[in-house]
C-alpha cells in the first residue's frame, strides 16, 4: 500500500516500518470525518445493551471503582458532574460507521484487528496511568483530552486495584488531542488520558494473545479433536509389595499411551483459523426476524449483494474458510468468492452458484451475513 493510510500521515508501509510496535505517532486532524461517529446519548443507550460489554470507572480520592454493565438510565443520573468514564466495547458490532472506522486499518491483517471501544468522560474523567499489552490507535471525537505517555520500564501495578494502575508513572511526553487527532501507542507504552471537556475517544485495539492463553486454547482444541483407542492393560501383574508405590511398569505403559498424542502444522493452522474467528462469549448475532426463503434469498443476493454482519469474523488460508469459529472447505469457485467476502466484508450483486448459496443461506439465517442495503 503506497498511499497514506490516514490523511496527513505516513504511508502504511512507512508507518509499519517506523512506528508499529516501536514508537508513538500523533497525526493532527487525521480522521476528522470519523470524529462524530457516536454522540453521548447514543453511547449511553449502547451501554444499556446486554450484547455489548460496558464499564463505568470512577475515582474517589486514591481509590478506583469499576462497575460493569449493562446499565440503566437511572445509573447515569446518579453520576457526579466530573471525574468518571464510561467505556463501551465492540461498538463496531452495533454501528456500521464504527465498523468502517475499523476497516480504515485493514492494512493490518484482520486476524490482528480486535474492535472499537468508545469512551465518554466529563472533565477529569480517565482510567488512570496504565499500559496495554497490545497496539492501540486513539482517535479523539468530541472534546479534548490530555495524553501523557512514557517509555518507562517500571510497570509495577497498584496492588488490589480493580484496574491495572501503574504505581509509579513518570511521563516524558504530553499532547492535548482535539477532534480528529489520531494517536498511536505501541504495546506496553505507559499512558494516561484525562478529559479536559466532555470528551469522546475511540480506541481501535488489536489482538495479541499471550503464549499461555494460546497454548491453553490449543490444548482444549486438541482435546476436542483427540481420538485415542485402547485401554490400559497389565497382564502378568505380580503381587504388590508396596501397594501405594507408583509402579515402574504402570508408568511405562501409560507413557506409551500418552506418547501417541500427536499434532501437525496443519492441526495448528486449523486451530488458529477457528480460534482467531471465534466470537467473544457475550456476542449475539442478530438473526432476521422474518427470514427469507432460500429462493428469495438467492434473488435478493443476486440483486443487492451480501455483506458480513458487524460481529462476524472471517478469515481464510489456502482453500479453507473460517467464519465465527467454523471451518469450511468449499470448491475452488466458491472458495475464491468467499475469500473476497472475507477481505472486503461484502460481495457485489451477482448470481451465486448452488454451492455458494448452500453456505451463504445458513449463514444468513444465523445472522452471520446480511443482504446489503447499500
Query: C-alpha distances in angstroms, 292 versus 155, 202, 289, 300, 346?
Result: 54, 36, 9, 9, 19
| Calpha distance 134→150 (Å, rounded) | 16
DSSP state of 98: H
| Calpha distance 52→95 (Å, rounded) | 12
Which residue matches cell numbers 469474523? 313
State the cell numbers at 55: 464499564
State the cell numbers at 35: 470524529
| Calpha distance 355→334 (Å, rounded) | 7
pLDDT tens across the length of the chain (374 residues):
446 788 888 999 999 999 999 999 999 999 999 999 999 999 999 999 999 999 999 988 888 999 999 999 999 999 999 999 999 999 999 999 999 999 999 999 999 999 999 999 999 999 999 999 999 999 999 999 999 999 999 999 999 899 999 999 999 999 999 999 999 999 999 999 999 999 999 999 999 999 999 999 999 999 998 888 889 898 888 998 889 999 999 999 999 999 999 999 999 999 999 999 999 988 999 899 999 999 999 999 999 999 999 999 999 999 999 999 999 999 999 999 999 999 999 999 999 999 999 999 999 999 999 999 87
| Calpha distance 292→130 (Å, rounded) | 48
Residues paired with 113 in a beta bridge? 206
Buried b (16+ CB within 10 A) or exposed e, 139-151: bbbbbbbebbbbe
Amino acid at each position: 500500500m503506497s498511499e497514506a493510510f490516514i490523511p496527513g500521515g505516513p504511508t502504511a508501509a512507512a508507518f509499519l516500518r517506523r512506528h508499529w510496535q516501536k514508537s508513538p505517532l500523533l497525526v493532527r486532524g487525521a480522521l476528522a470525518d470519523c470524529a462524530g461517529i457516536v454522540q453521548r446519548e447514543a453511547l449511553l443507550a449502547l451501554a444499556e445493551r446486554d450484547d455489548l460489554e460496558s464499564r463505568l470507572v470512577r475515582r474517589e480520592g486514591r481509590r478506583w471503582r469499576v462497575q460493569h454493565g449493562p446499565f440503566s438510565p437511572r445509573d447515569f443520573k446518579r453520576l457526579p458532574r466530573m471525574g468518571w468514564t464510561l467505556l463501551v466495547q465492540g461498538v463496531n458490532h452495533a454501528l456500521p460507521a464504527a465498523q468502517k472506522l475499523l476497516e480504515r486499518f485493514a492494512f493490518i491483517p484482520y486476524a490482528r484487528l480486535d474492535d472499537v471501544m468508545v469512551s465518554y468522560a466529563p472533565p477529569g474523567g480517565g482510567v488512570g496511568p496504565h499500559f496495554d499489552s497490545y497496539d492501540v490507535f486513539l482517535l479523539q471525537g468530541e472534546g479534548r483530552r490530555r495524553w501523557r505517555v512514557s517509555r518507562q520500564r517500571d510497570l509495577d501495578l497498584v496492588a488490589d486495584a480493580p484496574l491495572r494502575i501503574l504505581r509509579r508513572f513518570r511521563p516524558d511526553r504530553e499532547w492535548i488531542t482535539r477532534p480528529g487527532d489520531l494517536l498511536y501507542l505501541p504495546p506496553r507504552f505507559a499512558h494516561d488520558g484525562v478529559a479536559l471537556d466532555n470528551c469522546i475517544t475511540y480506541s481501535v485495539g488489536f489482538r495479541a494473545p499471550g503464549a499461555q492463553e494460546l497454548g491453553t486454547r490449543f490444548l482444549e482444541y486438541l482435546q476436542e479433536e483427540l481420538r485415542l483407542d485402547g485401554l490400559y492393560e497389565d497382564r502378568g501383574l505380580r503381587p504388590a509389595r508396596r501397594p501405594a508405590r507408583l509402579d515402574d511398569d504402570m508408568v511405562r505403559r501409560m507413557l506409551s499411551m500418552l506418547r501417541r498424542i500427536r499434532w501437525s502444522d496443519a492441526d495448528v493452522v486449523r486451530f488458529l483459523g477457528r480460534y482467531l474467528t471465534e466470537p467473544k462469549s457475550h456476542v449475539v448475532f442478530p438473526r432476521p426476524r422474518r427470514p427469507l426463503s432460500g429462493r428469495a434469498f438467492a434473488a435478493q443476493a443476486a440483486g443487492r449483494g451480501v455483506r458480513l454482519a458487524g460481529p462476524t469474523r472471517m478469515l481464510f488460508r489456502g482453500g479453507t474458510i473460517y467464519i465465527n469459529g467454523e471451518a469450511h472447505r468449499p470448491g475452488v469457485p466458491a472458495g475464491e468468492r468467499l475469500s473476497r467476502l472475507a477481505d472486503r466484508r461484502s460481495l457485489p450483486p451477482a448470481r451465486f452458484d448452488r454451492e455458494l448459496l448452500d453456505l451463504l443461506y445458513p449463514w444468513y439465517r444465523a445472522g452471520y451475513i446480511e443482504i446489503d442495503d447499500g
